[in-house]
Amino acid sequence: MAAEALAKVATSNHLIEGDVIYFAHGVWLRDLARAEVARTPEEADDLLRRARAFPHETVGVELVDVALEAGVPRPVHFREAFRTRGPSNYFHGKQADHV
């Protein structure tokens, strides 16, 4: 089945934990599939405005493109697909030698 037209979701990182989070009707979630989807530029503007109302919880709020597959948002850009697999906040290489 072909994907529907591109839409937008609001994403950020949790201020304290660093996890990737997605905005959905007044709360931040760690599951992209449950994110609130904006389908028009007006909805996207409103979504971003509401998502930015939580500066004490988030850092770097932005809108990203998603494809809707059976109504479920899926990342379209490599960066966003990679972010859904996180977090990668553990030590690697030289940093791991000192833990």
Q: Per-residue pLDDT tens for 62-92? A: 999 999 999 899 888 767 866 777 656 666 6
Domain total of the chain: 1
Residue 96 lies in a domain: no
- SS3 readout for 42-80: HHHHHHHHHHCCCCCCEEEEEEEEEEEECCEEEECCHHH
For residue 70, being part of any structural domain is answered with: yes
Mean pLDDT of 32-44: 97
Average pLDDT, the chain: 86
The partner residues of 9 in beta bridges, in order of sequence, read: 64
pLDDT beyond 80 at 99: no
- What's the pLDDT at 1? 47
The residues that bridge with 14 in the sheet, in sequence order, are 58
> What domain range includes position 21?
7-91
- Where is pLDDT greater, at 62 or 98? 62
For the chain, the C-alpha Rg in angstroms (whole number) is 15
